[in-house]
């Protein structure tokens, strides 16, 4: 009963992780954040693997999911440190885009309440773009805190998944061990079943003599 409850909870957690990962992947694509895009892709694959292992009673797949959950927590801690400028990291750097482009988080210009003001090019200034952004005003929350909330949510759900995955693996292993224990001490071994037919075969021979 406990294993069934744990499996159902883990299935729910994996489903929730898929929804959150897909939501995050969309906004990372919009912001051209290539490093998070790759991380989200691997995360989705591993979560699907863990979901399959939970449904099909495959503890090895769940163990892979458990290891990845720990790595996913570490990755999101790094993202939080990046956007809070902790440990020499800077949210203004191009680290998450692999220095390919100067794009930043999509939320930096499209956050709740943000108003993006544009200004045409000044006369005599030649650039490849027809306009340039002056500033973003009126945001109800700075974009770095939105990213921190996203990563914090990912950490919380991943920790729950880690705990329940360990519990489900332990429960499945105990069930397999209990089945092996019962089979190894079967009070009615197979050779005992064959004794009666052999006795019946000898009885007619005895009567004929």
- pTM of the entire predicted model: 0.77
Q: Decide which of 164 and 125 is more confident.
A: 164
pLDDT tens sequence across 96-150: 998 887 788 999 888 888 887 776 655 555 554 444 555 888 889 999 999 999 9
Look at residue 71 and tell me whether its pLDDT is greater than 50.
Answer: yes
- The predicted model gives 51-64 an average pLDDT of 95
Look at residue 83 and tell me whether its pLDDT is greater than 70.
Answer: yes
Q: How does residue 195 score in pLDDT terms, banded at 50, 70 and 90?
A: very low
Tokens at residue 131, please? 């306009």
- Minimum mean pLDDT range among 26-30, 115-119, 149-153: 115-119
One DSSP character per residue, the chain reads -HHHHHHHHHHHHHHHHHHHHHHHHHHHHHTT-HHHHHHHHHHHHHHHHHHHHHHTT-HHHHHHHHHHHHHHHHHHHHHHHHHTT-TT--TTSSGGGTTS-----THHHHSTT-EEEEEEPPTT---SSSEEEEEEE--SS-HHHHHHHHHHHHHHHHHHHHHHHHHHHHHHHHHHHHHHHHHHT-SS-HHHHTHHHHHHHHHHHHHH-
Number of Cβ within 10 Å of residue 35's Cβ equals: 16
The predicted structure's pLDDT at residue 124: 55
Q: Decide which of 129 and 155 is more confident.
A: 155
Q: Which residues contact 50 (CB under 8 A, 6 or more apart)?
A: 10, 14, 61, 62, 64, 65, 66, 68, 161, 165
């Amino acid at each position: 009963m406990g294993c069934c409850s744990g499996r159902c909870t883990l299935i729910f957690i994996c489903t929730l992780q898929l929804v959150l990962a897909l939501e995050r992947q969309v906004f990372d694509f919009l912001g051209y954040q290539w490093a998070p895009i790759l991380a989200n892709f691997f995360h989705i694959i591993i979560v699907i693997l863990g979901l399959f292992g939970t449904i099909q009673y495959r503890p090895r797949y769940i163990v892979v999911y458990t290891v990845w959950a720990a790595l996913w927590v570490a990755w999101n801690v790094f993202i939080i440190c990046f956007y809070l400028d902790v440990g020499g990291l800077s949210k203004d750097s191009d680290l998450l885009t692999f220095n390919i482009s100067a794009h930043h988080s999509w939320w930096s210009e499209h956050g709740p309440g943000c108003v993006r003001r544009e200004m045409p090019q000044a006369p005599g200034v030649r650039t490849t773009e027809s306009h340039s952004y002056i500033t973003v005003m009126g945001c109800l929350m700075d974009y770095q805190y939105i990213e921190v909330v996203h990563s914090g949510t990912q950490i919380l759900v991943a920790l729950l998944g880690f705990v329940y995955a360990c519990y489900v693996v332990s429960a499945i292993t105990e069930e397999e061990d209990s089945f092996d224990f019962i089979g190894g001490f079967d009070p009615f071994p197979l050779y005992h079943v064959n004794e009666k037919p052999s006795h019946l075969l000898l009885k007619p021979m005895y009567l004929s003599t």
